[in-house]
Amino acid sequence: MKREIIVTGDGSKTIHLPELNENYHSHHGALQEALHVFIHHGLAFKNEAKKLRILEIGFGTGLNALITLDYAREYDLKVEYHGLEAYPVSNEELEAMDYVSLPALEKLKTEYSQIHTAPWDTLTKLNPHFSLHKIEQKLEAYMPEAESIDLVYFDAFGPRVQEEMWSVEVFEKLFKGMTNGGVLVTYCAKGQVKRNMKAAGFIIEALPGPPGKREMTRAVKP
Ligand SMILES: C[S@@+](CC[C@H](N)C(=O)[O-])C[C@H]1O[C@@H](n2cnc3c(N)ncnc32)[C@H](O)[C@@H]1O
């Protein structure tokens, strides 16, 4: 499928899929959305744990992994990061995205390169705060180990284009894979998605969305 690189409202880039009219991130600001949804309302909410296993659904450009590594180092956390991705982004695309030319991320040049040169399907320790396991697999075929994940970054394409990624069955599978008190965060606030999460057993919280979006969702496994 054709992929184009576009610049979003905060100056950071994202990938646009013209055939689906879908983006990898919000066109209002890719970095701003990633920080708001996954770091402020996900990782910062869970960081009392100090040692966390994170699962990202839709590893894509690795932007969420990069800002998680940065946060883990700053707050002295130990993160084991599992990034699931069915269609890895190419090296040419990653170079063109050039996240580490942004003032907020330029200190992370080495780490961005480590994230992308790390082998797939192997857990690799990048530094004392961050280990990475990139998994090249479809969500449909993936089964997390029971009660092993503390935090899920649910960053699939929206339900308009990939409804099957947001089903009760998928949320049940993640629920089983999560620890008690585990948290799932997503940019999506669609009513049907929240009902599916609830049906899987989660407690749902609607939170203010990033700029340009009214709401986002946090789901907690009680
Ligand atoms: C919204 S983008 C993720 C953006 C990413 N988190 C980032 O920061 O760049 C959705 C991602 O899900 C991936 N994807 C699509 N279908 C998938 C599937 N069935 N299983 C796993 N990943 C899938 C896409 O290739 C894409 O990278």
What is the whole-number distance in angstroms between the Cα of residue 191 and the centre of ligand 1?
Answer: 21
What does the alpha-carbon distance between residue 165 and residue 163 come to, in Å, rounded to a whole number?
A: 5
Instruction: Report the chain's mean pLDDT, rounded to a whole number.
Output: 97
Query: For residue 7, what are the contacts with CB-CB under 8 A and spacing of at least 6?
Result: 13
Q: Is residue 8 part of a domain?
A: no
Q: Is residue 187 part of a domain?
A: yes
Q: Is residue 3 part of a domain?
A: no
Q: Which atom number of ligand 1 is nearest to the Cα of residue 22?
A: 1
pLDDT at 93: 93
Number of domains in the chain: 1
What is the whole-number distance in angstroms between the Cα of residue 102 and the centre of ligand 1?
Answer: 23
Atom 8 of ligand 1 has which residue's CA nearest to it? Answer: 63
Q: Is residue 7 part of a domain?
A: no
What does the alpha-carbon distance between residue 1 and residue 92 come to, in Å, rounded to a whole number?
A: 16
Q: Which atom number of ligand 1 is nearest to the Cα of residue 30?
A: 8
164 lines ligand 1 (CB under 6 A): no
Q: Is residue 9 part of a domain?
A: no
156 lines ligand 1 (CB under 6 A): yes
83 lines ligand 1 (CB under 6 A): no
Q: Is residue 12 part of a domain?
A: no
Q: Over the chain, what HEC string results?
A: CCCEEEECCCCCEEEEECCCCEECCCCCCHHHHHHHHHHHHHHHHHHHHCEEEEEEECCCCCHHHHHHHHHHHHCCCEEEEEEEECCCCCHHHHHHHCHHHCCCCHHHHHHHHHHHHCCECCEEEEECCEEEEEEECCHHHCCCCCCCEEEEEECCCCCCCCHHHHCHHHHHHHHHHEEEEEEEEECCCCHHHHHHHHHCCCEEEEEECCCCCCEEEEEECC
Q: Is residue 1 part of a domain?
A: no
What is the whole-number distance in angstroms between the Cα of residue 47 and the centre of ligand 1?
Answer: 25
Bridge partners of 184, per DSSP, are: 152, 219
Atom 19 of ligand 1 has which residue's CA nearest to it? Answer: 138
Bridge partners of 185, per DSSP, are: 153, 218
84 lines ligand 1 (CB under 6 A): yes
Q: Which CATH number is 169's domain given?
A: 3.40.50.150
pLDDT band per the 50, 70, 90 thresholds, residue 12: very high
Atom 24 of ligand 1 has which residue's CA nearest to it? Answer: 58
State pLDDT tens for residues 135-172: 999 999 999 999 999 999 999 999 999 999 999 999 99
Q: Which domain holds residue 181?
A: 29-220
Task: Please give the order of strands across the beta sheet that includes 51-57.
Answer: 123-127, 130-136, 78-85, 51-57, 149-154, 178-186, 215-220, 203-208
Atom 5 of ligand 1 has which residue's CA nearest to it? Answer: 60
| Positive/negative CA dihedral, 112, 114, 115, 117 | positive
pTM above 0.75, yes or no: yes
State pLDDT tens for residues 194-220: 999 999 999 999 999 999 999 999 999
Q: Is residue 23 part of a domain?
A: no
What is the whole-number distance in angstroms between the Cα of residue 85 and the centre of ligand 1?
Answer: 6
Atom 12 of ligand 1 has which residue's CA nearest to it? Answer: 58
What does the alpha-carbon distance between residue 124 and residue 122 come to, in Å, rounded to a whole number?
A: 6
Percent of the chain scoring above 70 in pLDDT: 100
